Amino acid sequence: QQPVQSPQAVILREGEDAVINCSSSKALYSVHWYRQKHGEAPVFLMILLKGGEQKGHDKISASFNEKKQQSSLYLTASQLSYSGTYFCGTEGWGSNYKLTFGKGTLLTVNP
């Protein structure tokens, strides 16, 4: 089952914050986050493993609530370079490490 991402699209001004959510109907072992700019390949951001770990780099962080099968990606003080489509990929228990990706969230950061 494909995870559900929300919102589908968000428009920000530079410096504003955003939260992107990823929900699954199945028990998850891990959640991966990727960003894809138009016409380019997806680029890895971070992996969250079960246990509610919060990881981050720069001003992008994420959390994983394994009880709710949800992950959230937090973008703080957004920069123009944050624009792109964000995908979560979920790995379910027993899925043999296969990722199922959501449909993506289009983030646009304007000056």
Partner 1 sequence: NAGVTQTPKFQVLKTGQSMTLQCAQDMNHNSMYWYRQDPGMGLRLIYYSASEGTTDKGEVPNGYNVSRLNKREFSLRLESAAPSQTSVYFCASSEDRGREQYFGPGTRLTVT
Site string for partner 1, 49-88 (x = CB under 8 A): --------------------------------------x-
Q: Is 91 helix (H, G, I), strand (E, B) or coil?
A: strand
Distance in Å, CB of 57 to partner 1, minimum: 12
Q: What is the DSSP string of 72-90?
A: EEEE-S--GGG-EEEEEEE
Cβ 87 vs Cβ 40: under 8 Å:
no
Single out the segment in contact with partner 1 by CB under 8 A; choices: 11-19, 35-43, 54-62, 75-83: 35-43
Question: Which uninterrupted H or E stretch holds 96?
Answer: none
Do residues 89 and 42 make contact, with C-beta atoms less than 8 angstroms apart?
Answer: no
Q: Which residue lies nearer to partner 1 by CB, 2 or 81?
A: 2
Q: Residue 42, interface with partner 1 (CB under 8 A)?
A: yes
Give the footprint of partner 1 on this chain (CB under 8 A).
Answer: 2, 29-30, 32, 34, 40-44, 47, 87, 89, 91, 96-104
